[in-house]
Homo-oligomer: A and B are copies of this chain.
C-alpha cells in the first residue's frame, strides 16, 4: 500500500486515522477526502479520530477534493484471464486506499472495442486511464493520443506500445523467458518447443523474419520470443522453425501444434509455454500422446496459479507480480492526477521462476 506523502512526518496519516477510528483505510480516505459514500456512523468515527490525532489533509487529499470524478478508468484485454484479474485487484486496492473508485472495460483484444472504451471513459469523465492496449503500431494509437491531448492522463500496463511515449508498467518478459529456457538448457535439453509465437500464417524460416513478424504484433509476446531466442543463441542452439507455434492463440491449437512437434523425427524434449492456455493445451497433447512430464517432456509455463501447484507433479512456472503490476500502474497514474509530471518511462517489475517438478533431464 502506498504511503501518504505528508509534508511533515509528524502529522498523522490517513492510515493512522483509520486505525484510531477502527475503520478501513478506504473509509477514512473517503471521509477525509469528502468523497463517496460513507455511512453517518463511520463518518462520525473517522472525524472524531482525525480531530483527536490532529489530522490535516495532505497535498494528495487536497488535490482529491478538487478533482472531477475521483474515478479511474481501466481498459483490459480480457478480465477472464486470471492475470488481468490480478492486475485489476492491484489497481483497485491502491485506488481505493487513495479514495478513488475504478471502472473497468474489457476489449477482448479487439481494437475497435478499445477505441470505444476510451470514448466511454472520457464520456464518463474519469480522472485518468490505465490501459493494457491491444494496439501494436503507430497507426493504431490515435484514440490514446486523443485522450492524452484532452488532458486525461494515461498509463500503460502489461504492454508497452513502441509508438506511445507514456509511462508503462510491465514485467521483465524477455529476461523471464530467457531464464526459463536457460533452465531447460541447463537440464540438458536442446530441442525446445515454443508456444506461442506471433499470429503469422506460417512460421518464418529465419530468426530475423520471425522477429520482424513479432515486432508487428503484441509487445509482450515479442519480448518472450526474444528471450527464447536469446537463450538458444547463448547456448549456440540453432533456431528451428518446426519448434515454434504461430497463428491463432487458442488452447485447441496449442494441443494440435504440440502434437505436431511431438511427432517430429528429431523429437522435442522440452517445451516453453508463454500463457496459461498454452500450458493446459500442452498438457492435453502430452496425455493424448501417452507421454508424461517431466520424464518425456520437460515443461515450464507462464503464469503461476493455485492449480499449477497442485498438479502431480507440480509445475515449474513463471510467477508475475500481478498485484504489484496493477498497484504500481495506479500509483503512477494517481501521482500524475495529483499534479506530478509524468516521467514517460518504462517501469519494469521482476517476475520469478517458481521451481517445482516439471523439469528433468531428457530421457536417453
Contacts and interface: CB of A to CB of B under 8 A. Distances in A.
Interface of A: 24, 26-27, 30, 36-37, 39, 42, 69, 71, 79-82, 85-86, 88-89, 92, 96, 101-106, 108, 112-113, 115-117, 119-120, 123-124, 143, 251, 276-277, 280, 283-284, 287, 305-307, 309-312
Given A103-B105, A116-B37, A89 B80 contact: yes
Given A105-B103, A117-B101, A306-B277, A85 B79 contact: yes
A112 B106 CA distance: 24
Contact of A102 (B101, B105, B311): B105
Contacts of A115: 37
Given A101-B117, A112-B24, A117-B101, A79 B71 contact: no
B116 A101 contact: yes
A143 to B, nearest CB: 8
A310 B24 CA distance: 41
28 contacts: A30-B116, A36-B116, A37-B143, A39-B112, A69-B123, A71-B120, A79-B79, A80-B89, A81-B85, A82-B82, A85-B85, A92-B108, A96-B113, A101-B105, A101-B117, A102-B105, A103-B120, A103-B124, A124-B124, A277-B306, A280-B310, A283-B310, A284-B310, A287-B310, A287-B312, A307-B307, A307-B311, A311-B311
A119 B101 CA distance: 10
Nearest to A30: B116
Contacts of A306: 251, 276-277, 280
A198 B124 CA distance: 39
B119 A36 contact: yes
Given A79-B104, A124-B124, A27 B112 contact: yes
A300 to B, nearest CB: 16
B104 A104 contact: yes
Contacts of A112: 24, 26-27, 37, 39, 42
A79 B311 CA distance: 24
A248 to B, nearest CB: 17
Contacts of A143: 37
A32 to B, nearest CB: 15
Contacts of A92: 106, 108
A82 B79 CA distance: 9
Contacts of A307: 280, 305, 307, 311
A258 to B, nearest CB: 12
A143 B105 CA distance: 23
Listed from nearest, the 5 A-B pairs whose CB atoms lie closest are A307-B307, A80-B85, A283-B310, A280-B306, A103-B103
Contacts of A103: 103-105, 120, 124
Contacts of A119: 36-37
A105 B104 contact: yes
A82 to B, nearest CB: 6
A296 B191 CA distance: 39
Contacts of A69: 123
Given A105-B103, A284-B310, A306-B277, A80 B80 contact: no
A85 B89 CA distance: 13
A357 to B, nearest CB: 12
